[in-house]
Amino acid sequence: MYKKKTSVVGIIITIVILIILVFISNMKVENLSYIENIISSVVMPIQNGITYLKNKITGNSTFFADISELQAENEQLKKRNSELETTLREFEIVKSENSTLKEYLDLSEQYGNYQTKAAYIISKDISNYSNVFVINVGKNDGIEINMTVISEKGLVGHIISVTDTTAKVQTIIDTASTVSSTITTTRDNLICKGTLEEQGLLKATSIPTTANLVVGDVIETSGMGGIYPKGIKIGTIKSVDNTKNIVDRAAIITPAVDFSKVETVLVIL
Amino acid sequence: MKNVMIVIISVIVFLLFYLLQVNFFNWFTIAGVSPNLFVILVLFLGLFAGKRLGIPMGIFLGICLDFFIGKKIGISGIMLGIIGGMAGILDKNFSKDSRITLILMTIGVTVTYELGVYILNHLIIATNFELMAFIKILLIEVIYNVIITIILYPILQKAGYYIEDAFRGNQILTRYF
Protein backbone atom coordinates (compact mmCIF):
# COMPACT_ATOMS: atom_id res chain seq x y z
CA MET A 1 0.00 0.00 0.00
CA TYR A 2 2.85 2.36 1.03
CA LYS A 3 4.75 1.48 -2.15
CA LYS A 4 1.68 2.21 -4.28
CA LYS A 5 1.25 5.63 -2.64
CA THR A 6 4.89 6.56 -3.11
CA SER A 7 4.78 5.50 -6.77
CA VAL A 8 1.72 7.72 -7.38
CA VAL A 9 3.47 10.63 -5.66
CA GLY A 10 6.56 9.90 -7.78
CA ILE A 11 4.53 10.04 -11.01
CA ILE A 12 2.85 13.30 -9.98
CA ILE A 13 6.25 14.84 -9.15
CA THR A 14 7.60 13.64 -12.53
CA ILE A 15 4.64 15.18 -14.40
CA VAL A 16 5.15 18.49 -12.56
CA ILE A 17 8.89 18.43 -13.37
CA LEU A 18 8.07 17.67 -17.04
CA ILE A 19 5.67 20.60 -17.28
CA ILE A 20 8.20 22.95 -15.61
CA LEU A 21 10.94 21.69 -17.99
CA VAL A 22 8.74 22.32 -21.04
CA PHE A 23 7.84 25.82 -19.91
CA ILE A 24 11.36 26.84 -18.88
CA SER A 25 12.95 25.45 -22.05
CA ASN A 26 10.50 27.29 -24.29
CA MET A 27 10.65 30.57 -22.36
CA LYS A 28 12.25 33.61 -23.96
CA VAL A 29 14.47 35.58 -21.60
CA GLU A 30 12.99 38.87 -22.74
CA ASN A 31 9.52 37.65 -21.82
CA LEU A 32 10.20 37.73 -18.10
CA SER A 33 7.57 40.45 -17.74
CA TYR A 34 5.01 37.67 -17.42
CA ILE A 35 6.41 36.93 -13.96
CA GLU A 36 5.39 40.47 -13.13
CA ASN A 37 1.95 39.64 -14.54
CA ILE A 38 1.69 36.55 -12.35
CA ILE A 39 2.68 38.51 -9.26
CA SER A 40 0.25 41.29 -10.09
CA SER A 41 -2.54 38.79 -10.80
CA VAL A 42 -2.02 37.35 -7.31
CA VAL A 43 -1.65 40.68 -5.53
CA MET A 44 -4.16 42.84 -7.42
CA PRO A 45 -7.37 40.95 -6.47
CA ILE A 46 -6.38 41.24 -2.81
CA GLN A 47 -5.58 44.92 -3.32
CA ASN A 48 -8.95 45.40 -5.06
CA GLY A 49 -10.76 43.66 -2.21
CA ILE A 50 -9.06 45.82 0.38
CA THR A 51 -9.90 49.01 -1.55
CA TYR A 52 -13.52 47.90 -1.92
CA LEU A 53 -13.85 47.26 1.81
CA LYS A 54 -12.20 50.57 2.57
CA ASN A 55 -14.68 52.39 0.32
CA LYS A 56 -17.63 50.64 1.98
CA ILE A 57 -16.45 51.40 5.46
CA THR A 58 -15.86 55.06 4.65
CA GLY A 59 -19.58 55.49 4.09
CA ASN A 60 -20.47 54.58 0.50
CA SER A 61 -24.24 55.00 0.53
CA THR A 62 -24.90 52.95 -2.63
CA PHE A 63 -24.11 49.77 -0.67
CA PHE A 64 -27.54 49.94 0.96
CA ALA A 65 -29.49 50.66 -2.24
CA ASP A 66 -32.69 48.84 -3.02
CA ILE A 67 -31.76 45.18 -3.62
CA SER A 68 -34.81 44.27 -5.70
CA GLU A 69 -34.12 47.15 -8.10
CA LEU A 70 -30.57 45.95 -8.49
CA GLN A 71 -31.70 42.37 -9.12
CA ALA A 72 -34.03 43.47 -11.95
CA GLU A 73 -31.27 45.53 -13.50
CA ASN A 74 -28.91 42.59 -13.16
CA GLU A 75 -31.32 40.28 -15.02
CA GLN A 76 -31.72 42.81 -17.80
CA LEU A 77 -27.96 43.21 -18.14
CA LYS A 78 -27.44 39.43 -18.21
CA LYS A 79 -29.93 39.12 -21.05
CA ARG A 80 -28.25 41.93 -22.97
CA ASN A 81 -24.84 40.34 -22.34
CA SER A 82 -25.89 36.97 -23.78
CA GLU A 83 -27.29 38.74 -26.87
CA LEU A 84 -24.02 40.59 -27.34
CA GLU A 85 -22.02 37.38 -26.89
CA THR A 86 -24.02 35.69 -29.65
CA THR A 87 -23.40 38.63 -32.01
CA LEU A 88 -19.71 38.61 -31.12
CA ARG A 89 -19.43 34.89 -31.92
CA GLU A 90 -21.04 35.48 -35.31
CA PHE A 91 -18.56 38.29 -35.96
CA GLU A 92 -15.63 36.04 -35.01
CA ILE A 93 -16.73 33.42 -37.57
CA VAL A 94 -17.09 36.05 -40.32
CA LYS A 95 -13.68 37.54 -39.35
CA SER A 96 -11.91 34.17 -39.57
CA GLU A 97 -13.56 33.40 -42.94
CA ASN A 98 -12.55 36.82 -44.20
CA SER A 99 -8.91 36.39 -43.15
CA THR A 100 -8.66 32.97 -44.87
CA LEU A 101 -10.14 34.35 -48.11
CA LYS A 102 -7.83 37.38 -47.93
CA GLU A 103 -4.84 35.07 -47.49
CA TYR A 104 -5.82 33.10 -50.61
CA LEU A 105 -6.30 36.34 -52.57
CA ASP A 106 -2.93 37.77 -51.48
CA LEU A 107 -1.19 34.55 -52.41
CA SER A 108 -2.77 34.40 -55.85
CA GLU A 109 -2.04 38.08 -56.58
CA GLN A 110 1.59 37.85 -55.48
CA TYR A 111 2.34 34.86 -57.66
CA GLY A 112 -0.10 35.76 -60.42
CA ASN A 113 2.21 34.67 -63.23
CA TYR A 114 2.26 31.10 -61.90
CA GLN A 115 -0.69 28.75 -62.11
CA THR A 116 -1.19 27.67 -58.51
CA LYS A 117 -3.34 25.48 -56.31
CA ALA A 118 -4.06 26.53 -52.72
CA ALA A 119 -3.77 23.93 -49.96
CA TYR A 120 -3.99 23.51 -46.19
CA ILE A 121 -1.39 21.75 -44.07
CA ILE A 122 -3.14 18.78 -42.47
CA SER A 123 -0.27 17.03 -40.69
CA LYS A 124 3.19 18.04 -39.52
CA ASP A 125 6.33 15.98 -38.99
CA ILE A 126 6.73 14.01 -35.77
CA SER A 127 10.49 13.58 -36.00
CA ASN A 128 13.01 15.93 -34.42
CA TYR A 129 15.42 15.42 -37.31
CA SER A 130 13.32 16.18 -40.37
CA ASN A 131 10.75 18.70 -41.51
CA VAL A 132 8.06 17.30 -43.76
CA PHE A 133 4.33 18.04 -43.80
CA VAL A 134 1.22 16.77 -45.53
CA ILE A 135 -1.18 18.99 -47.51
CA ASN A 136 -4.80 18.36 -48.47
CA VAL A 137 -4.36 18.27 -52.27
CA GLY A 138 -3.14 15.34 -54.37
CA LYS A 139 -3.18 13.68 -57.78
CA ASN A 140 -6.88 14.49 -58.18
CA ASP A 141 -5.99 18.21 -58.07
CA GLY A 142 -3.15 17.87 -60.57
CA ILE A 143 -0.33 17.71 -58.04
CA GLU A 144 2.84 15.85 -59.06
CA ILE A 145 6.18 15.01 -57.50
CA ASN A 146 8.82 17.81 -57.49
CA MET A 147 6.29 20.63 -57.82
CA THR A 148 7.28 23.77 -55.92
CA VAL A 149 5.38 24.81 -52.80
CA ILE A 150 5.30 28.47 -51.75
CA SER A 151 3.47 30.70 -49.29
CA GLU A 152 2.66 34.43 -49.36
CA LYS A 153 6.06 35.14 -47.72
CA GLY A 154 8.29 32.94 -49.88
CA LEU A 155 9.57 29.46 -50.68
CA VAL A 156 8.27 26.55 -48.57
CA GLY A 157 9.61 23.40 -50.28
CA HIS A 158 8.70 20.80 -52.88
CA ILE A 159 6.44 17.77 -53.24
CA ILE A 160 8.16 14.45 -52.50
CA SER A 161 5.21 12.05 -52.76
CA VAL A 162 1.56 12.20 -53.79
CA THR A 163 -1.58 10.18 -53.13
CA ASP A 164 -4.97 10.82 -54.73
CA THR A 165 -6.00 13.34 -52.09
CA THR A 166 -2.84 14.31 -50.20
CA ALA A 167 0.79 15.20 -50.87
CA LYS A 168 3.95 15.24 -48.75
CA VAL A 169 6.05 18.40 -48.84
CA GLN A 170 9.74 18.43 -47.94
CA THR A 171 10.41 21.92 -46.57
CA ILE A 172 13.59 23.86 -47.33
CA ILE A 173 14.61 23.62 -43.64
CA ASP A 174 14.65 19.80 -43.82
CA THR A 175 18.18 18.38 -43.48
CA ALA A 176 17.82 16.59 -46.82
CA SER A 177 16.96 19.83 -48.63
CA THR A 178 19.41 21.75 -50.80
CA VAL A 179 18.36 24.85 -52.74
CA SER A 180 20.46 26.63 -55.34
CA SER A 181 20.14 30.33 -54.48
CA THR A 182 21.23 33.84 -55.39
CA ILE A 183 21.81 36.99 -53.37
CA THR A 184 19.25 39.42 -54.87
CA THR A 185 21.51 42.49 -54.89
CA THR A 186 24.92 41.10 -55.89
CA ARG A 187 23.67 38.07 -57.90
CA ASP A 188 26.25 35.79 -56.21
CA ASN A 189 25.21 32.14 -56.20
CA LEU A 190 25.22 29.97 -53.07
CA ILE A 191 23.67 26.77 -51.73
CA CYS A 192 21.06 26.86 -48.93
CA LYS A 193 20.72 23.73 -46.81
CA GLY A 194 18.50 22.73 -43.90
CA THR A 195 20.44 22.27 -40.69
CA LEU A 196 19.99 20.56 -37.32
CA GLU A 197 22.33 23.01 -35.58
CA GLU A 198 20.01 25.98 -36.01
CA GLN A 199 16.50 24.53 -36.15
CA GLY A 200 14.13 26.54 -38.29
CA LEU A 201 17.01 28.31 -40.05
CA LEU A 202 19.07 27.61 -43.19
CA LYS A 203 22.80 27.33 -43.68
CA ALA A 204 24.31 28.88 -46.83
CA THR A 205 27.46 27.20 -48.12
CA SER A 206 29.53 27.16 -51.33
CA ILE A 207 29.77 30.94 -51.15
CA PRO A 208 32.05 32.44 -53.84
CA THR A 209 35.26 33.89 -52.39
CA THR A 210 34.54 37.21 -54.08
CA ALA A 211 31.00 37.48 -52.72
CA ASN A 212 30.28 40.30 -50.30
CA LEU A 213 27.77 39.07 -47.73
CA VAL A 214 25.84 41.68 -45.80
CA VAL A 215 23.49 40.88 -42.92
CA GLY A 216 19.93 41.55 -44.08
CA ASP A 217 20.59 40.78 -47.75
CA VAL A 218 17.71 38.96 -49.45
CA ILE A 219 18.28 35.45 -50.83
CA GLU A 220 16.12 34.06 -53.63
CA THR A 221 16.03 30.93 -55.76
CA SER A 222 18.48 30.90 -58.68
CA GLY A 223 16.35 28.70 -60.93
CA MET A 224 19.12 26.10 -61.25
CA GLY A 225 18.58 22.53 -60.11
CA GLY A 226 15.38 21.82 -61.99
CA ILE A 227 12.87 21.98 -59.13
CA TYR A 228 12.44 25.56 -57.94
CA PRO A 229 11.60 28.38 -60.40
CA LYS A 230 13.81 31.47 -60.42
CA GLY A 231 13.17 34.51 -58.20
CA ILE A 232 11.21 33.09 -55.26
CA LYS A 233 12.27 34.66 -51.95
CA ILE A 234 13.99 32.23 -49.57
CA GLY A 235 14.94 34.53 -46.71
CA THR A 236 17.48 37.05 -45.43
CA ILE A 237 21.05 36.69 -44.17
CA LYS A 238 21.02 36.54 -40.36
CA SER A 239 24.74 36.16 -39.69
CA VAL A 240 27.97 35.37 -41.50
CA ASP A 241 30.40 32.78 -40.15
CA ASN A 242 33.82 33.93 -41.36
CA THR A 243 36.33 31.08 -41.14
CA LYS A 244 40.14 31.28 -41.53
CA ASN A 245 39.79 29.76 -44.96
CA ILE A 246 37.46 31.98 -47.00
CA VAL A 247 36.37 28.98 -49.11
CA ASP A 248 34.72 27.37 -46.06
CA ARG A 249 32.74 30.37 -44.88
CA ALA A 250 29.03 29.95 -44.26
CA ALA A 251 26.03 32.12 -43.50
CA ILE A 252 22.89 31.56 -41.50
CA ILE A 253 19.69 32.46 -43.35
CA THR A 254 16.39 33.29 -41.67
CA PRO A 255 13.67 31.83 -43.93
CA ALA A 256 11.01 34.26 -45.13
CA VAL A 257 8.39 31.71 -44.09
CA ASP A 258 7.82 31.00 -40.39
CA PHE A 259 7.53 27.22 -40.57
CA SER A 260 6.08 26.91 -37.09
CA LYS A 261 3.09 29.05 -38.03
CA VAL A 262 2.48 28.36 -41.72
CA GLU A 263 -0.99 26.90 -42.37
CA THR A 264 -1.84 27.74 -45.98
CA VAL A 265 0.42 27.10 -48.97
CA LEU A 266 0.30 27.28 -52.78
CA VAL A 267 1.54 24.55 -55.09
CA ILE A 268 2.91 25.84 -58.40
CA LEU A 269 1.38 23.61 -61.10
CA MET B 1 -9.47 -14.20 -29.99
CA LYS B 2 -7.77 -12.46 -27.05
CA ASN B 3 -4.60 -12.17 -29.12
CA VAL B 4 -6.44 -10.58 -32.06
CA MET B 5 -8.07 -8.08 -29.70
CA ILE B 6 -4.65 -7.14 -28.28
CA VAL B 7 -3.27 -6.55 -31.79
CA ILE B 8 -6.29 -4.37 -32.67
CA ILE B 9 -5.95 -2.40 -29.43
CA SER B 10 -2.21 -1.93 -30.14
CA VAL B 11 -3.05 -0.43 -33.55
CA ILE B 12 -5.63 1.88 -31.93
CA VAL B 13 -3.04 2.95 -29.31
CA PHE B 14 -0.58 3.56 -32.17
CA LEU B 15 -3.09 5.86 -33.91
CA LEU B 16 -3.73 7.65 -30.62
CA PHE B 17 0.03 8.11 -30.13
CA TYR B 18 0.30 9.43 -33.70
CA LEU B 19 -2.39 12.05 -33.08
CA LEU B 20 -0.76 12.98 -29.76
CA GLN B 21 2.63 13.28 -31.43
CA VAL B 22 1.28 15.45 -34.29
CA ASN B 23 -0.96 17.72 -32.26
CA PHE B 24 0.14 17.80 -28.63
CA PHE B 25 3.87 17.03 -28.61
CA ASN B 26 4.39 19.44 -31.51
CA TRP B 27 4.24 22.31 -28.99
CA PHE B 28 4.69 20.47 -25.67
CA THR B 29 8.42 20.16 -26.23
CA ILE B 30 11.61 20.35 -24.19
CA ALA B 31 13.82 22.94 -25.93
CA GLY B 32 11.95 22.29 -29.18
CA VAL B 33 12.46 18.50 -28.98
CA SER B 34 9.49 16.12 -28.78
CA PRO B 35 9.54 12.53 -27.44
CA ASN B 36 9.13 9.37 -29.53
CA LEU B 37 6.14 7.45 -28.23
CA PHE B 38 6.32 4.77 -30.94
CA VAL B 39 9.63 3.47 -29.65
CA ILE B 40 8.09 3.08 -26.18
CA LEU B 41 5.04 1.30 -27.65
CA VAL B 42 7.09 -1.23 -29.66
CA LEU B 43 9.53 -1.78 -26.78
CA PHE B 44 6.59 -2.56 -24.53
CA LEU B 45 4.99 -4.93 -27.08
CA GLY B 46 8.27 -6.79 -27.63
CA LEU B 47 9.01 -7.02 -23.91
CA PHE B 48 5.68 -8.43 -22.84
CA ALA B 49 4.44 -10.32 -25.91
CA GLY B 50 7.85 -11.49 -27.11
CA LYS B 51 9.67 -10.91 -30.37
CA ARG B 52 7.10 -12.98 -32.29
CA LEU B 53 4.70 -10.06 -31.91
CA GLY B 54 7.31 -7.33 -31.37
CA ILE B 55 9.04 -7.71 -34.75
CA PRO B 56 5.94 -7.90 -37.02
CA MET B 57 4.15 -5.17 -35.10
CA GLY B 58 7.27 -2.99 -35.19
CA ILE B 59 7.59 -3.43 -38.95
CA PHE B 60 3.85 -2.87 -39.53
CA LEU B 61 3.59 0.24 -37.32
CA GLY B 62 6.86 1.61 -38.75
CA ILE B 63 5.62 1.24 -42.31
CA CYS B 64 2.33 2.92 -41.35
CA LEU B 65 4.40 5.78 -39.90
CA ASP B 66 6.41 6.00 -43.12
CA PHE B 67 3.19 6.17 -45.12
CA PHE B 68 1.80 8.89 -42.86
CA ILE B 69 4.79 11.25 -42.79
CA GLY B 70 8.05 9.51 -43.78
CA LYS B 71 10.32 10.62 -46.59
CA LYS B 72 11.09 7.04 -47.71
CA ILE B 73 8.88 4.03 -47.08
CA GLY B 74 10.54 1.39 -44.93
CA ILE B 75 13.12 3.26 -42.86
CA SER B 76 10.96 3.47 -39.71
CA GLY B 77 9.61 -0.01 -40.53
CA ILE B 78 13.08 -1.58 -40.44
CA MET B 79 14.15 0.26 -37.29
CA LEU B 80 10.94 -0.38 -35.32
CA GLY B 81 11.14 -4.06 -36.37
CA ILE B 82 14.68 -4.16 -34.95
CA ILE B 83 13.42 -2.50 -31.74
CA GLY B 84 10.68 -5.17 -31.46
CA GLY B 85 13.31 -7.92 -31.80
CA MET B 86 15.67 -6.15 -29.40
CA ALA B 87 12.88 -5.91 -26.82
CA GLY B 88 12.33 -9.68 -27.05
CA ILE B 89 16.05 -10.30 -26.45
CA LEU B 90 16.15 -7.78 -23.58
CA ASP B 91 13.24 -9.59 -21.92
CA LYS B 92 15.22 -12.85 -21.92
CA ASN B 93 18.20 -11.21 -20.18
CA PHE B 94 16.78 -8.52 -17.91
CA SER B 95 13.84 -8.14 -15.53
CA LYS B 96 11.10 -5.85 -16.71
CA ASP B 97 9.68 -5.62 -13.19
CA SER B 98 12.29 -3.07 -12.19
CA ARG B 99 11.65 0.54 -13.08
CA ILE B 100 15.38 1.23 -13.44
CA THR B 101 15.83 -1.62 -15.94
CA LEU B 102 12.89 -0.39 -17.97
CA ILE B 103 14.36 3.15 -18.01
CA LEU B 104 17.72 1.79 -19.18
CA MET B 105 15.96 -0.23 -21.87
CA THR B 106 14.10 2.93 -23.01
CA ILE B 107 17.42 4.78 -23.26
CA GLY B 108 18.95 1.90 -25.24
CA VAL B 109 16.14 1.51 -27.75
CA THR B 110 15.63 5.26 -28.25
CA VAL B 111 19.33 5.71 -29.06
CA THR B 112 19.32 2.63 -31.34
CA TYR B 113 16.20 3.72 -33.20
CA GLU B 114 17.17 7.36 -33.78
CA LEU B 115 20.78 6.50 -34.67
CA GLY B 116 19.57 3.83 -37.12
CA VAL B 117 17.01 6.14 -38.75
CA TYR B 118 19.60 8.95 -38.96
CA ILE B 119 22.24 6.74 -40.59
CA LEU B 120 19.72 5.15 -43.01
CA ASN B 121 18.43 8.61 -43.97
CA HIS B 122 21.98 9.79 -44.53
CA LEU B 123 22.76 6.80 -46.73
CA ILE B 124 19.49 6.70 -48.68
CA ILE B 125 18.45 10.34 -49.09
CA ALA B 126 21.77 12.07 -48.38
CA THR B 127 20.76 14.20 -45.42
CA ASN B 128 23.46 16.50 -44.05
CA PHE B 129 25.58 14.79 -41.40
CA GLU B 130 25.78 16.97 -38.26
CA LEU B 131 26.92 14.72 -35.45
CA MET B 132 27.09 17.20 -32.56
CA ALA B 133 23.67 18.72 -33.29
CA PHE B 134 22.23 15.20 -33.65
CA ILE B 135 23.67 14.09 -30.28
CA LYS B 136 22.33 17.21 -28.57
CA ILE B 137 18.78 16.59 -29.86
CA LEU B 138 19.04 12.86 -29.13
CA LEU B 139 20.04 13.48 -25.49
CA ILE B 140 16.99 15.68 -24.91
CA GLU B 141 14.74 13.14 -26.66
CA VAL B 142 16.11 10.32 -24.48
CA ILE B 143 15.42 12.34 -21.32
CA TYR B 144 11.88 13.09 -22.54
CA ASN B 145 11.24 9.41 -23.36
CA VAL B 146 12.51 8.39 -19.91
CA ILE B 147 10.16 10.87 -18.24
CA ILE B 148 7.22 9.52 -20.28
CA THR B 149 8.19 5.94 -19.39
CA ILE B 150 8.24 6.84 -15.68
CA ILE B 151 4.79 8.41 -15.99
CA LEU B 152 3.34 5.50 -17.98
CA TYR B 153 5.12 2.75 -16.00
CA PRO B 154 2.12 1.58 -13.88
CA ILE B 155 -0.19 1.42 -16.93
CA LEU B 156 2.48 -0.24 -19.06
CA GLN B 157 3.12 -2.84 -16.39
CA LYS B 158 -0.56 -3.69 -15.84
CA ALA B 159 -1.37 -3.86 -19.56
CA GLY B 160 1.91 -5.70 -20.16
CA TYR B 161 1.12 -8.56 -17.80
CA TYR B 162 -2.28 -8.93 -19.42
CA ILE B 163 -0.60 -9.19 -22.85
CA GLU B 164 2.05 -11.55 -21.49
CA ASP B 165 -0.66 -13.79 -20.07
CA ALA B 166 -2.50 -13.85 -23.43
CA PHE B 167 0.54 -14.49 -25.60
CA ARG B 168 2.82 -16.53 -23.39
CA GLY B 169 0.57 -17.79 -20.62
CA ASN B 170 2.08 -21.26 -20.47
CA GLN B 171 5.67 -20.13 -20.99
CA ILE B 172 6.00 -17.47 -18.28
CA LEU B 173 7.22 -19.74 -15.48
CA THR B 174 9.31 -22.11 -17.56
CA ARG B 175 11.75 -19.39 -18.64
CA TYR B 176 12.93 -18.98 -15.04
CA PHE B 177 14.03 -22.61 -14.74
Q: Which of B30, B36, B121 sits opposite A25 (nearest CB)?
A: B30
pLDDT digits (tens, 9 = 90+) for A241-258: 887 787 888 889 999 988
Q: Which of A130, A196, A197 sits opposite B71 (nearest CB)?
A: A130
What's the mean per-residue pLDDT of chain A? 81
Q: Which of B21, B137, B150 sits opposite A129 (nearest CB)?
A: B137
Least-confidence region, from A32-36, B37-41, B142-146: A32-36
Whether the CB of B32 is below 8 Å from some CB of chain A: the reply is: yes
What pLDDT was estimated at residue A215?
Answer: 87
For residue B176, being part of any structural domain is answered with no
Angle at A235 between CA A253 and CA B124, to 5 degrees: 65
CATH entry, A116-269, from 3.40.50.40, 2.40.10.220, 2.60.120.560, 2.40.10.350: 2.40.10.350
For the complex shown, is ipTM > 0.85? no
For residue B177, being part of any structural domain is answered with no
Residues 6+ apart with CB under 8 A from A110: A152
For residue B175, being part of any structural domain is answered with no
Whether the CB of A14 is below 8 Å from some CB of chain B: the reply is: yes
Mean pLDDT for the stretch of residues B147-160? 88
Mean pLDDT for the stretch of residues A43-60? 67
What pLDDT was estimated at residue A213?
Answer: 82
Q: Is the Cβ pair B133, A195 closer than 8 Å?
A: yes
Whether the CB of A170 is below 8 Å from some CB of chain B: the reply is: yes
**Sign (positive/negative) of CA torsion A21, A23, A28, A29?**
negative
User: Which residues in A lie closer than 8 A to residue B29 (C-beta atoms)?
Assistant: 22, 25-26
Is residue B173 over pLDDT 60? no
Is residue B146 over pLDDT 70? yes
pLDDT above 70: percentage of residues in chain A: 81
What pLDDT was estimated at residue A4?
Answer: 64
User: Which residues in A lie closer than 8 A to residue B150 (C-beta atoms)?
Assistant: 10-11, 14
Is residue A3 over pLDDT 90? no
> Each residue of A112-151: b (16+ CB within 10 Å) or e?
eeeebbbbebebbbbbbbbbbbbbebbeebebeeebbbbb
**Cβ–Cβ < 8 Å for A187, A218:** no
A120-123: Cβ within 8 A, 24+ apart: A120/A263, A120/A264, A120/A265, A121/A262, A121/A263, A121/A264, A121/A265, A122/A166, A123/B22, A123/B68, A123/B69
Q: In this structure, what CATH number is given to the domain that contains residue B121?
A: 1.10.1760.20
Q: Which of A14, A128, A175 sits opposite B34 (nearest CB)?
A: A128
B108: DSSP letter: H
Is residue B144 over pLDDT 90? yes
pLDDT digits (tens, 9 = 90+) for A66-75: 677 888 889 9
Against a cut of 0.80, is the pTM above it?
no
A171: DSSP letter: E
Question: In total, how many domains does chain B have?
Answer: 1
For residue B39, being part of any structural domain is answered with yes
